Chains A and B, each alone.
Chain A
Amino acid sequence: MLKLGKIIMHIAILYGIFLIGNWIQVTFHLIIPGSVIGMILLFILLYTKSIKVSWIEDGTRLFVSHLTLFFIPATVGIVNYLQLFSGKGILLIIIVLISTALVMGISGVVSQWFVRKKELHHE
């Protein structure tokens, strides 16, 4: 029971940081989503040791390991778009796959090039 209370508390902190992120986005008219601002904010808070990892750890770990549960309702909305994926809609899947292949290949090549340069430099 104590553990459950702790987890709810941790998730409440995450929610609070999300709301602060939203507030920052609206106040400063930023394009970056409030949730992403909240994530950067939490990272800075942890990194600068402004808050202790133990204040959010258990809840966050549980949250992250079951992240996809929260994606289900949004994904189920596809029920209203099913006709898109019949016939010509298969093209959409092919577009996504080609683009995904390009991202994977090119980002991998670029970072590999920089890592090798760095490794050479250190030897």
Chain B
Amino acid sequence: MNNIIIGLLAIIGTLIVYLFMWKLHRRVLLPVTLPIFLGSIVIVLVLLLFHIDYDTYMIGGEWINQLLGPAVVALAYPLYQQRDLLKRLFVPILMGTIVGAVVGIMSGVLLAKWLGVEEFIIYSLVSKSVTTPVSIVIADSLGGAMPLAAVFVMIAGMGGVLIAPFIFKAFKIDHVIGRGVGIGSASHAIGTARAMEDGPLGGSASTVAMVLSAIIVSIIAPILAVWML
């Protein structure tokens, strides 16, 4: 009985925090006001302030976690909406995404290994360029920590949006498709939201790259990461 009350409180609390942050983000449209970022910070602070264990919070949180699987399935819909672009530019988008996936996994592992980072942390950052629900499943299957994976995904998303203008300049990426694929491959949904602000075509390319990247990384990350470590 007690667990049901705790669970409900955790779920309702998370919903209220999310909705509040969502409204705020609509007013102040910046990467740092993203509900996942500010919302997570608020809940972490509440847990620390009231000495609540993460396990206690997860009595309810686990119910929200149950929806991560269907959330990934739902991504078929935006991909379906972009099916014409997918067909028309299949090779350019796929090639960029595959190369990006390999570069992301290898550079992450090599840099971390070189700096002597612990193995479970390396396994948590291998899949940082793909959307959270896919990334945490990959991290978990490799032996990484899911919350770490979620935070690395967030850093890749928000950091990627901040550095994008410099990267496009440095790599001389001026084509709308190249920019879309670059930001979608590296910074998943957060990057895609940014790309959409610049125009529908770049946003569409970013959407396709983000979804393809999730599929590709989930296939090659286990092979590449295990082989490299």
Q: Is there an interface contact between A104 and B182, defined as CB atoms closer than 8 Å?
A: yes
Query: A residues within 8 Å of B by Cβ?
Result: 11, 14-15, 17-18, 21-22, 31-36, 38-43, 46-47, 53, 56-57, 60-61, 63-64, 66-81, 84, 91-93, 95-116, 118
B31 CB → nearest A CB, Å = 12
Q: Do A70 and B43 form a contact, CB below 8 Å, given A47-B83, A105-B170?
A: no
Q: Is there an interface contact between B218 and A76, defined as CB atoms closer than 8 Å?
A: no
* 16 A-B pairs in the complex with CB atoms less than 8 angstroms apart: A18-B69, A31-B218, A57-B77, A68-B39, A70-B133, A73-B57, A73-B61, A76-B57, A103-B107, A107-B103, A107-B182, A108-B96, A108-B179, A111-B96, A115-B178, A118-B89
B217 CB → nearest A CB, Å = 10
Please give, as numbers and ranges, the residues of chain A lying within 8 Å of B15 by CB-CB distance.
Answer: 69
Q: Within the complex, which residue of A76, A108, A115 is in contact with B47, where a contact is CB–CB below 8 Å?
A: A76
Q: How far is the CA of A64 from the CA of B73 in the complex (A)?
A: 10
Q: Is there an interface contact between A47 and B80, defined as CB atoms closer than 8 Å?
A: yes
Q: Within the complex, which residue of B39, B72, B121, B125 is in contact with A38, where a contact is CB–CB below 8 Å?
A: B72
Query: Can you list the 9 inter-chain pairs with the closest CB atoms, starting with the nearest?
Result: A108-B182, A111-B96, A107-B100, A77-B147, A112-B178, A73-B61, A114-B92, A35-B72, A42-B76
A51 CB → nearest B CB, Å = 11
Q: Is there an interface contact between A109 and B76, defined as CB atoms closer than 8 Å?
A: no
Q: Which residue of A lies closest to B174 (CB)?
A: A112
Interface residue tally on B, bucketed by range: 35 or more
Q: Do A40 and B167 form a contact, CB below 8 Å, given A69-B35, A70-B67, A78-B151?
A: no
A12 CB → nearest B CB, Å = 9
Query: B residues within 8 Å of A by Cβ?
Result: 14-15, 17-18, 22, 34-36, 39-40, 43-44, 47-48, 54, 57-58, 61-62, 64-65, 67-80, 83, 89, 91-93, 95-97, 99-101, 103-104, 107-108, 111-112, 115, 117, 121, 125, 128-129, 131-134, 136-138, 141, 145-148, 150-152, 154-156, 159-160, 163-164, 167-168, 170-175, 177-179, 181-183, 185-187, 189, 205, 209, 211, 214-215, 218-219, 222-223
Main secondary structure of the interface of A (DSSP, over half): helix
Q: How far is the CA of A104 from the CA of B159 in the complex (A)?
A: 11
Q: Is there an interface contact between B147 and A78, defined as CB atoms closer than 8 Å?
A: yes
Q: Do A111 and B218 form a contact, CB below 8 Å, given A42-B73, A74-B136?
A: no
Q: Is there an interface contact between A61 and B77, defined as CB atoms closer than 8 Å?
A: yes
Q: Is there an interface contact between B150 and A77, defined as CB atoms closer than 8 Å?
A: yes
Main secondary structure of the interface of B (DSSP, over half): helix
B221 CB → nearest A CB, Å = 9
Q: Is there an interface contact between B95 and A74, defined as CB atoms closer than 8 Å?
A: no
Q: How far is the CA of A42 from the CA of B185 in the complex (A)?
A: 22
Q: Is there an interface contact between A96 and B54, defined as CB atoms closer than 8 Å?
A: no
Please give, as numbers and ranges, the residues of chain B lying within 8 Å of A36 by CB-CB distance.
Answer: 72, 134, 214-215, 218
Please give, as numbers and ranges, the residues of chain A lying within 8 Å of B211 by CB-CB distance.
Answer: 39
Q: Which residue of B lies closest to A43 (CB)?
A: B76
B4 CB → nearest A CB, Å = 17
Q: How far is the CA of A109 from the CA of B96 in the complex (A)?
A: 7
Q: Within the complex, which residue of B39, B43, B97, B160 is in contact with A100, where a contact is CB–CB below 8 Å?
A: B160
Q: Is there an interface contact between A63 and B71, defined as CB atoms closer than 8 Å?
A: yes
